[in-house]
Amino acid sequence: MAEPKKPKVTPRIDIFKAWCKACGICIAFCPTGVLAKDEAGYPYVKDIEQCINCGWCEVRCPDFAITVETKVKEKKRVEVKGEEAQPKGEEEISPERIVAPGQ
């Protein structure tokens, strides 16, 4: 029996140019040709519809200059922002919240 198809999530590719050295690794590793070089040699998103969200560009970038954002990640980020937006009051971080579990 065939499994139901998951809805396609189109990721967003963020390129942080200040950290990018235009090495072209992300372009070379992208299996579907989403990325291309601009006239200065920096990567840009040529065809986001071809992105299969494999994450290779992000994993292979030696300078952490490219990230692949999915809507799920974005939603989490919004939720965190929502928490931060609430009035602080007694919301000071207690020492217990800083200590890692198991310590």
Give the residue with the Cβ less far from ligand SF4, 53 or 76: 53
CB of 1 to ligand SF4, least distance (A): 29
15 binds ligand SF4 (CB under 6 A): yes
Q: How many CA atoms lie within 13 A of 37 on its CB side?
A: 10
Give the residue with the Cβ less far from ligand SF4, 19 or 79: 19
- Window 39-58: contact mask with ligand SF4 (x via CB under 6 A): ----x-------xxxxxxx-
Give the residue with the Cβ less far from ligand SF4, 32 or 76: 32
Which DSSP symbol is given to 50? G
CA angle 34, 29, 65 (to 5 degrees): 80
36 binds ligand SF4 (CB under 6 A): no
Coarse DSSP helix, strand, coil percentages of the chain, rounded to the nearest 5 percent:
30, 15, 55
Rounded to a whole number, what is the distance in angstroms from the first to the last CA of the chain? 48
Contact residue for ligand SF4 among 9, 14, 24, 75 (CB under 6 A): 24
